[in-house]
Amino acid sequence: METINTKTKILFFLFTISVFSCKAQQLPLNTSLKNIPMNAYVKDLNNELYQYTGAYKTNFQGKEIILHITKEENKLMDYGDQKFYRDALVIKYIVKNSSGTVLQDTKNNATSKIDFFSIGTKPDQNKITFSYSGTNCNVGWGKIILKKINDTQISWEYRPNDIILDDSKCPPGTDINIYLPETKDLIFTKQ
């Protein structure tokens, strides 16, 4: 009886050690999507992302745009047949018109379905590329490239894609305005 009890303890101990020693494979930030195995962790090994975090502000065509950039570790990336985790920058933003009325706010809106996160870096060019899901009905989806100019300024480039809308994809009366600046070389200043 004591032998069975000892064997059970040993098996439990080995199982516990194996569970705690298992760790997802860590890969560098710019690992190609096709080279990322299931459940891997694409990690900011060189701390490239922190230099972009903070609040940045600009004015463009009578609108004030404030970007709130944070680093999220272990962000789940779910592409259906491929799931993995990555360290990413996440952008929440507030856009106001010239009289201060909020036109769009993803920072203080917990129900916002807008995704805006980094998908790659170019450290040699001080650039980070973001995926942007677009506003309502995915209008304006595309990519945004931020370039770090210095410690207090970043340059913005927005490359929206086209989308065909009909009533089945987007109910009538839905706000489909793109409030983010559709431009290149727009300077945001850190607050």
Total domains in the fold of the chain: 1
Is residue 149 within 8 Å of residue 187, measured between CB atoms?
A: yes
User: Which one, of 124, 183, 153, lies nearest residue 52 by Cα?
Assistant: 153
What is the domain range of residue 117? 24-190
pLDDT in tens, 40-60: 999 999 999 999 999 999 999
Q: Cite the beta strand spans of 6-152 per DSSP E.
A: 26-28, 41-43, 54-60, 63-78, 83-96, 102-105, 116-122, 127-132, 142-150
Task: Quote the pLDDT of residue 11.
Answer: 55
pLDDT in tens, 112-130: 889 999 999 999 999 999 9
Is there a domain that residue 19 lies in? Answer: no
Q: Hey, how many other C-beta atoms are within 10 angstroms of the C-beta on 121?
A: 20
Q: What is the mean pLDDT of the chain?
A: 90
Is there a domain that residue 3 lies in? Answer: no
pLDDT in tens, 75-108: 999 999 999 999 999 999 999 999 999 999 999 9
Is there a domain that residue 109 lies in? Answer: yes
pTM over 0.75: yes
Q: Which of 40-49, 143-152, 161-170, 171-180 comes out lowest in average pLDDT?
A: 161-170
Question: What is the dihedral angle through the alpha carbons of 132, 136, 139, 144, rounded to the nearest 10 degrees?
Answer: -20
Residue positions counted in the chain:
191
Is there a domain that residue 2 lies in? Answer: no
- How is residue 67 written in tokens? 């970007």
Is residue 20 scored above 90 in pLDDT?
no
Is there a domain that residue 46 lies in? Answer: yes
Is there a domain that residue 34 lies in? Answer: yes
